[in-house]
Structure 1
Amino acid sequence: MAVVMLGVALPALFLSSVQAAVQPRVGLTAHAADQVLTWTADNSMIAYKSAPSTATAGPATIVFENSAATGNNTGMTHTLTFDTSTPGYNHDVNLNIIASPYDASGGRHEVQVNLRPGKYRFFCAIPGHQMVGELVVTDGGGTDTTAPQVSAQVTGDQDPNGNYVGSATVTISASDTESGVDKVEYSLDNGAFTTYSAPVSINQAGAHTVRYRATDKAGNTSTVGSATFTVVTPPEKDTTPPQVTAQVAGEKDKDGNYLGSATVTISATDSESGVATVEYSLDGQPFAVYTQPLTLGQPGAHTVTYRATDKAGNTSTVGSATFTVVTPQEKDTTPPQVTAQVAGEKDKDGNYLGSATLTISATDSQSGVDKVEYSLDNGAFTTYSAPVSINQAGAHTVRYRATDKAGNTSTVGSATFTVVAPQGEDTTPPQVSARITGNQDWAWNYVDSATVTISATDSESGVDKVEYSLDGQPFAVYTQPLTVGQPGKRTVTYRATDKAGNTSSVGTATFMVVKDTSGTDCPKPGKGNSCKEK
């Protein structure tokens, strides 16, 4: 039974033996055809051993054989696949036959199809194979004696007299309902006919005649058509781009932000050929044609870029207007909420041993918190940006306050506490070590990933924190084993600090991570080889 897959993508890995399956699709016929087209393949990946080049429209039996009988003595798998996407070919037959000398059919497969006039492109879809060809199908119902239909259209900028200013473009169209169009040709001003492949632009001033014709695949050529027109030189070439400006309007707050919305008005002038188009882009979007002022009500920062093009094609330098829209708010008369928390190790009397850390928190549900300040022991208020550590022995009072963006300041709060020196000062840093685990290859490289576990101990004040740095990055707090999966030579440095502030020497762990290549053939053993041999 043939292995036929229609409209299904080939798998990335082809096996030397596949199960037989037939899945009929549109374009196949259920009955046997008198016309038999045979493809064969052997050990070559460059070309099919044999393949038909022509056929007649209608039902056909396609035979694809890739077997020992056709010269395949290596067991190599090939496919016969019809192209269904490349322009210029018929796409109505979805055919994909996978054949191997070792499959259930011994490498020989048949399928019924229905061909129509035109060209089909076929190829072997296995990666690395370069087998490709064309099958030309002619009309089996009779000889095509009807010439193609062909027409031409002239376009361009015209003056009041109908002349084309600067240039004219001639676009030729042809169609043939029988054998199909083979080629289209044109002649400019009684010159020789040449192949037409794209619209033709004529920019030489004067009267012109373009003659055109089309030939179908049966050799029928249309009557020669013609298009006559005149190209004139533009009055004077305009090389100066337009002048373009933008103005942003709306109600502003004290910070210059627009309350509720902002309106952008773009103006452009050109004293020569005149302005053709004005365009704008909002926040990096594609340019669009500007027709009226833009009103932007979405809160946030915005940038409008703009440009203008004149009728001679000159485009101005891109300008930009940047502004911020904010949501109008009712007047905020409520000060922020502010609290403070003191943390640290305490003795039995509630005093903080060695140091105390003060953390201040503030919230404001209206205009938002603008700043937080604190004063230590009746000193001047200073800006609070991070928790404050107080390690000087004695009684302390920290006062704190917060101010919102509307200028409202909270009542001053205070926190009172005492710091005492710890009994017996700890001057010994912690002990810290690292252990690396993971699957290793024969060269002791870690395959796919390595896990670094860092351990620290301190017999006096106790470990306060452990930190690590991966490949020279800033130190970060270590909370759990670190899994490193990026291939290459990796270095983890580490250190620990105890509660008395003593920091250990920096330790280093260096190792190599490689990708798992155990599924591939290994090179000969040697330094730097990291795959496993089969």
Structure 2
Amino acid sequence: MNLHRRWLALAGVVVALVPVLVSPASASSTPRSRPVVQLAQTLTWTTDNEITRYKTAPTTAVAGETTIVFENSEATGNTTGMPHTLTFDTSTEGYNHDVNLNILANPFDANNGRHTATVTLTPGRYRYFCSIPGHSSMVGEFTVAGGPVDTTPPTVSGSVSGTRDTAGNYVGSATVTVGASDAGGSGVASVEYQLDDTSFVPYTQPVVVTAIGDHSVQYRATDVAGNVSAVGSVQFRVVEPDDEDTTPPTVNAAVSGNRDAQGRYVGSATVTVTATDDDSGVARIETSVDGGAFTVYTAPVVVSSAGAHMVHYRAVDNAGNQSPEGMVGFTVVAADTTPPTVSGSVSGTRDVNGNYVGSAFVTVTASDTGSGVAIVEYSLDGGAFTRYPAPIVVSTAGAHTVRFRATDNAGNTSPEGSVSFTVVTGDTAPPTVSGSVTGDRDANGNYLDSATVTVTASDAESGVATVQYAVDGGSFTTYTVPVVVSSLGAHTVSFRATDNAGNTSLVGLVNFTVVRRPVPDTTAPTTSATVSGNRDGNGSYIGSATVTVTATDAQSGVRSIEYALDAGPYIAYSGPVSVTTTGPHAVKYRATDNAGNVAAEQTVTFTVVAPGSDACPNSDTRPTVVIDGVDTGVANVDTGNGCTINDLIAENAEYPDHATFVRHVQSVTAPLVTNGVITRRDQGAIVRAAAASTIGSRSFHAFA
């Protein structure tokens, strides 16, 4: 440390302000005549997002066995996952060093940030701090009371020094030095003095008196237990100096050497002292290292032992005048060639696949037993290295890699370490998936010789994990490149996508026809229609009926299908038509092939009746929705008219093909989602089970 001198001129009294080292006092408790009672106690420290202070901490305690509680959690205000330590100081002078405690806590550790330890405290003071780099302002102390009461006052003494004439008077000035000690055990708390009966003031350093005349300095001391010593005193006279030299030399000191990033001297420090005297000249310079005896200074003082050091210095001129003491403080650390040790860990909430949901917290720790850690750095996903101040919060969905390294105060840098992980959002929405067909086409839109199906998927939250496809009702296969279909005829390619949170989209479809090079086609497509739904004893459809139209063309292929409901106009058919209006209905339908041939109009008729209280007297009441032996896990609830979801699916009905059955399941479950009977996720599970079944792949029988 550097010594800063200030001088106060008060009524001719000059007081030099320098530090006074006072030994730490032992705390007292009960009088000697009473037994000491050891009480079980709990001391609690808490922390939050701050790195400059503990949120709460004790200031006093009693001696004996003690439960230490250190909590650094969301409950105490830590919302960022920042780690802190509660570390007891075992080296700084003036504090108890008999408890070795070092607790690291963060809200995501195995104890959720709350840790306990049992220690035994003794009377005195303890210092504690946070050892995380950058948290050095988190420090404090507390006092422990215990043991017998100190009833013995301190012992105090005073002495006068300076240049004296033959009569014993002090020439120009006199310096009064006061010393105190305490045998009672609690230690000296304060020392006071007063000059010439003015008033007592704190004694912090030797008192220099320059006013000419007779003087008396009284002094006293008080210990930590409050005992005050008897007042002591010294008397003296200060006289005017004659023309001879009465001015002490001017003395200065400088410290040099190689320094680390924290200002400590690596290997050794050299203290150079200089002094000047314009009158009689400098007779000698003296130095004292770390409280040792003063010795004559002949060359710069080299200090090479590791640790904190204080060098005091003074000079005497040829007239015998001695300068006030100066001092310089510094720290020497051993030369360090070993890089720090650095490690990283990832914490946060994880899903079943080990991904971190919402965000991940990366904590980097570093240690160095030599010169100490100077800086810790990290790089996120290949970015530039930057200083690590606190745990890194990564909330962007996707795969990530954090690299890290540390450099000590001697300039040694550790090898890079890294941790890799994946972050997913709290994602409940399935991906968006679509398919497109490309290839050479004839005038009717048929694909010549082959068609290429390209599937694309996106997910704005956790991201797409897998994409799958199935050709013509086959098994789903992982999609990696566009699918080429070259077999002649009409085809259906189904596709779906799953995101990193496990959500799977509904099955999408693309339909197309592959034909040979143009062949004259004069035959219209073949068309058919089926009606599905829950039927009552009269054959009427309860609540709704679904009309599915199919068309085939063995030559140029089907270009379009149209239908007209009741007296309405023909419109393009894109999928099963759900009719919910009660009463009799007629659906006309026709198809056109790619050669322009139009099939003859056909009609299917049916009746829709309102749901009754017992629309399905032989209802399928299995507890969950089961399709072709596959249990979806979705509750098989009553849909509101006495029919269950299994009744609506009607897995035992006849369907012309597998795709028709899948579309039927999509159609009857869509109103259940709209009406809140099931969730969209439930619908997805049901449709996936339908797509995975073999229903419709069997021989076709017309609906009753």
TM-score, structure 1 as length reference: 0.39
Bigger share in helix: 2
The structure that has the greater radius of gyration is 2
TM-score, normalised on structure 2? Answer: 0.31
